[in-house]
Chain A
Amino acid sequence: MSDRLRGYTLFASISLLILVVAPLALPAFRLDELAKYLCFAIAALGIGLAWGQGGMLTLGQGVFFGLGGYAMGMYLKLHDAGGDLPDFMVWSGVEKLPALWGPFGNPVVAIGAVIVVPVAIATLLGVLVFRQRVRGAYFAILTQALAAAFVILLVGQQGLTGGTNGLTNFYDVFGRDPEAESTQRGLYFVTAIVLGVLYLGARQLVKSRFGRLLVAVRDGEDRVRFLGYNPATVKTITFAVSAGMAGIAGALFVPVVGIISPSLLGVVPSLELVVAVAVGGRYALAGAILGAVAMNYAKTAFSEEWAGGWLYLQGALFILVMTLAPRGAVGVYQQARDALARRRGDRPPPEPEPAPAVKTPKEVPA
């Protein structure tokens, strides 16, 4: 009972912080940056689900982020052009709107595609790969190769995708000026609420029987198979859900930051997301979110303070966390809490939250 209460209080207080305190305390442009971190947090949540709970180390989440982002970007671009060709097509020598772009003029189709396209591609990939029992490092390499190939494809098709520039210069985001303060605040709330809803959904998924099965697949795939379940299905569904989350994150990123370009979805940004999840603590969904926000905040803060060498600080932070706390920030919190409870000895250590698989048995005192 107390655990549940703790979970609720924590969620409620963080919601309060994000939805009330931050908008009041931060100037609009910092809020816009926080919105960007929250976009990454949505993608990280998907990784937390696939990697932390399901053991699928996906190094190509940028692909799905990009698919969502480009779907949104294409709609905004067509909307701005208002019947004409988008600006970059003009200077790339394209004379007729490519057929692929046609359907994205409709906002419903575009927003649908934000989720459907990443989910469909992840499902297809999952069906092909997981049925062949490709896992571990092989799966990681495969997703990374996918990210690299996707970037080359986007850069090479300048007339279709804007090339290295990507899609930028949006004048009108659903009837509003993207640089106006009120729009930035509005987008922040949308992003925060989407993140909250997806977090609750993911948490519910993890707590459900499906979630237990997923963790079981992570810890002993063969045993699960012997018990009569099909691990490929469980993994495919989870991977597709995480891809859908990345797609949504990408779609929100476009109006928040005002650009989507191949540099956001290649190997490096995909790895950065995984690193953020590792720093936050991959075994808890909240850890993924915390990690994404903290790492991106660190990126902004370090680069503002020390423009010449901030990458070293960022790297050092990662190494430090991984050597001192391999389970990430949430792991440290849990260890500290358990240690405290043990010292007091007044009650048994509480169940970890929110993921049931956070603790290895040896940490639980007999």
Chain B
Amino acid sequence: MRKKFFRPLAAALVLPAALLTACGGESGDTAEAGAAGNTIKVGVLHSLSGTMSISEVTVKNSELLAIEEINAKGGVLGKKLEPVVEDGASDWPTFAQKAQKLIKKDKVATVFGGWTSASRKAMLPVFERNKALLWYPVQYEGLESSPYIFYTGATTNQQIVPGLDYLKEKGKKKIYLVGSDYVFPRTANKIIKAYAKANGMQILGEEYTPLGHTEYSTLVNKISDAKPDAVFNTLNGDSNVAFFKQLKSAGFDAAKLPVMSVSIAEEEVKGIGVPNIEGQLVAWNYYQTTSGATNDAFVKAFQAKHKGAVTSDPMEAGYNAVHLWAAAAEKAGSVEVEAVKKAAAGISLDLPEGKVTIDGPTQHVYKTARIGVIGKDGLIKEVWSSKEPIKPDPYLKSYPWASGLS
């Protein structure tokens, strides 16, 4: 009788103990702070698995390169940077949770991360509520300016508007819009339509396909019937492979129907296949071929670590983010968030794309717009650039035609 009674009791005591050792090991490190000790912890949060990993891993690598460079020169405020890498797993809620972990458990001084707008939107409340800092390195749809995010990629007036200006300059009046079905393409197209209306351009069609969609013959037929002068392409990821292949096999090459893309960089060109996309247009702020000693050094350093790799705009923006943050922290004399934010305004560095200056009020950066043509070697050659870095204007306030957008 006794035995029977004690056995469950023993189990009842052992189980909680076992579970506690399994998940209770955390409580000790709450006291640890990001800047304590001899290192400063910084978070690197990108998708290392899932659909987005192909793009985001490259940005992670360039950010780690920048951290290494800074450490080689003695670190920030005399302390080495210690990257804490987390996987966002191409899943937006995971981004939010990992951001929390980096802020609350690792107590990082700042986080570099994100690619998709969805991941940024998911992380935004976490950074705002915890008053922590995120550096977001990818061109995006604008209409946002969080006090706890620095945007080192282009906003719309530094990429899409120049892209449209270029098409207009070339006399392309009838435009067809093709995009993946999510926030960036839809918002971008809203802006493009407003621009077209004000500039005497005509939008012949606007089509969206789900992310990962690969069947484009219907869409190519529609484009063929509409007879546009040019296509403005906001497709993302794998879809571009299928779209350009099917466009090419329907007889549309760059000479017959120019396509202006805003999500295709050097890395993506490799996947699409150069013959399918040769001669087509892209709009960015940086190419591997951008001239300047700083870029030569960046490309060389990156290729020394990753053989045969290319460098692209988001990678460069991620690399810039790390250097800009480090400069701001040095200027502030602290890695404390509010101090860094204050110090960041007006910081200007010579980076691979040229001179990059942080605009204090919007926390975006001044960027030179560049239109490029995809060459035979898969690299992109610049054919047009804005004379100087363009002031970021995420809400397009300085453009009268955009008054109804936000």
Residue of B48, B130, B187 touching A308 (CB-CB under 8 A): B48
List, in ascending order, chain B residues with CB within 8 A of A9's CB: 8-9, 11-12
- Pair B15/A6 contact, Cβ less than 8 Å: no
- Pair B406/A156 contact, Cβ less than 8 Å: no
- Pair A178/B13 contact, Cβ less than 8 Å: no
- Pair A304/B101 contact, Cβ less than 8 Å: yes
| A118 in contact (CB, < 8 A) | no
| A33 in contact (CB, < 8 A) | yes
| B24 in contact (CB, < 8 A) | yes
**Interface hit among B115-123, B167-175, B248-256, B343-351:** B115-123
| B218 in contact (CB, < 8 A) | no
| A163 in contact (CB, < 8 A) | yes
| B398 in contact (CB, < 8 A) | no
- Pair B11/A27 contact, Cβ less than 8 Å: no
Residue of A32, A90, A169, A310 touching B124 (CB-CB under 8 A): A169
| B68 in contact (CB, < 8 A) | no
Report the minimal beta-carbon distance from B188 to chain A, rounded to whole angstroms: 11
Residue of B12, B16, B27, B96 touching A259 (CB-CB under 8 A): B96
Q: How large is the interface on B (under 10, 10 to 19, 20 to 34, 35 or more residues)?
A: 35 or more
Report the minimal beta-carbon distance from B292 to chain A, rounded to whole angstroms: 32
Report the minimal beta-carbon distance from A186 to chain B, rounded to whole angstroms: 16
Report the minimal beta-carbon distance from B333 to chain A, rounded to whole angstroms: 29
Annotate B354-368 by CB proximity to A: 1 below 8 A, 0 otherwise.
000000000000000
Residue of B93, B101, B126, B143 touching A263 (CB-CB under 8 A): B93
- Pair A27/B16 contact, Cβ less than 8 Å: no
| A303 in contact (CB, < 8 A) | yes
| A130 in contact (CB, < 8 A) | no
| B342 in contact (CB, < 8 A) | no
List, in ascending order, chain A residues with CB within 8 A of B183's CB: 88, 91-92, 158, 163-165
A17 (CB) vs chain B CBs: closest residue: B16
A269 (CB) vs chain B CBs: closest residue: B91
List, in ascending order, chain B residues with CB within 8 A of A303's CB: 86-87, 89, 98
Considering the complex, which residues of chain A in the window 7-25 have a beta carbon less than 8 Å from any beta carbon of chain B? 9-10, 12-14, 16-17, 21-22, 25
| A339 in contact (CB, < 8 A) | no
- Pair B126/A258 contact, Cβ less than 8 Å: yes
A179 to B129, CA, bound (A): 6
List, in ascending order, chain B residues with CB within 8 A of A32's CB: 100
- Pair B49/A297 contact, Cβ less than 8 Å: no
CB contact under 8 A between A93 and B190, given known A32-B100, A164-B183, A297-B23: yes
- Pair B126/A165 contact, Cβ less than 8 Å: no
A93 to B206, CA, bound (A): 15
CB contact under 8 A between A165 and B186, given known A5-B8, A21-B16, A25-B27: no
- Pair B48/A168 contact, Cβ less than 8 Å: no
CB contact under 8 A between A166 and B20, given known A27-B105, A259-B96: no
- Pair A158/B182 contact, Cβ less than 8 Å: yes
Q: How large is the interface on A (under 10, 10 to 19, 20 to 34, 35 or more residues)?
A: 35 or more
| A70 in contact (CB, < 8 A) | no
A168 to B95, CA, bound (A): 12
Report the minimal beta-carbon distance from A289 to chain B, rounded to whole angstroms: 13
A5 (CB) vs chain B CBs: closest residue: B8
- Pair A155/B8 contact, Cβ less than 8 Å: no
Prevailing SS type, chain A contact patch: helix
- Pair B210/A156 contact, Cβ less than 8 Å: yes
With a 10 A CB-CB cut-off, give which of A25, A257, A258, A259 has the most chain B CB atoms: A259
A25 to B17, CA, bound (A): 12
CB contact under 8 A between A297 and B27, given known A5-B5, A16-B16, A263-B91: no
A28 to B101, CA, bound (A): 11
List, in ascending order, chain B residues with CB within 8 A of A219's CB: none
Report the minimal beta-carbon distance from B285 to chain A, rounded to whole angstroms: 23
Annotate B43-63 by CB proximity to A: 1 below 8 A, 0 otherwise.
000001100000000000000
Annotate B1-34 by CB proximity to A: 1 below 8 A, 0 otherwise.
0001101110111011001101110110010000
A36 (CB) vs chain B CBs: closest residue: B97
| B74 in contact (CB, < 8 A) | no
Annotate A278-306 by CB proximity to B: 1 below 8 A, 0 otherwise.
00000000000000000001001001100
Report the minimal beta-carbon distance from A320 to chain B, rounded to whole angstroms: 17
- Pair A27/B96 contact, Cβ less than 8 Å: no
A344 (CB) vs chain B CBs: closest residue: B3
Report the minimal beta-carbon distance from A248 to chain B, rounded to whole angstroms: 18
| A307 in contact (CB, < 8 A) | yes
CB contact under 8 A between A14 and B15, given known A152-B210, A259-B92: yes
A3 (CB) vs chain B CBs: closest residue: B8
| B125 in contact (CB, < 8 A) | yes
| B104 in contact (CB, < 8 A) | yes
CB contact under 8 A between A165 and B182, given known A179-B126, A303-B89: yes
List, in ascending order, chain A residues with CB within 8 A of B105's CB: 27, 29-30
Report the minimal beta-carbon distance from A18 to chain B, rounded to whole angstroms: 9
List, in ascending order, chain A residues with CB within 8 A of B267's CB: none
| B181 in contact (CB, < 8 A) | yes
Considering the complex, which residues of chain A in the window 214-272 have a beta carbon less than 8 Å from any beta carbon of chain B? 257-259, 261, 263-264
B14 (CB) vs chain A CBs: closest residue: A13
| A177 in contact (CB, < 8 A) | yes
A34 to B19, CA, bound (A): 12
List, in ascending order, chain A residues with CB within 8 A of B100's CB: 29, 32
A11 (CB) vs chain B CBs: closest residue: B12
| A26 in contact (CB, < 8 A) | yes
Residues of A within 8 A of B (CB): 2, 5-6, 9-10, 12-14, 16-17, 21-22, 25-30, 32-34, 36, 88, 90-93, 152, 155-156, 158, 163-166, 168-171, 177-179, 257-259, 261, 263-264, 297, 300, 303-304, 307-308, 310-311
Residues of B within 8 A of A (CB): 4-5, 7-9, 11-13, 15-16, 19-20, 22-24, 26-27, 30, 48-49, 85-87, 89-93, 96-98, 100-101, 104-105, 116-118, 121-122, 124-126, 129-130, 141, 143, 181-183, 186-187, 190, 208, 210-211, 406
9 pairs of A and B residues whose beta carbons are closest in the complex: A179-B129, A13-B12, A6-B8, A29-B104, A17-B16, A164-B182, A307-B87, A165-B118, A9-B8
What are 28 A-to-B residue pairs whose CB atoms are below 8 Å?
Answer: A6-B7, A13-B15, A21-B20, A26-B27, A29-B104, A30-B26, A30-B105, A90-B406, A91-B183, A91-B406, A92-B183, A155-B181, A155-B182, A156-B181, A156-B208, A163-B181, A165-B92, A165-B182, A168-B122, A168-B124, A168-B125, A171-B125, A257-B96, A258-B96, A259-B92, A261-B118, A263-B92, A307-B87
Interface contacts beyond A168-B121, A178-B125, A261-B92: sample of 14 additional A-B pairs, CB < 8 Å, sorted by A: A10-B15, A22-B23, A29-B101, A34-B23, A152-B210, A158-B181, A158-B182, A164-B92, A169-B121, A179-B125, A261-B122, A297-B22, A307-B85, A308-B87
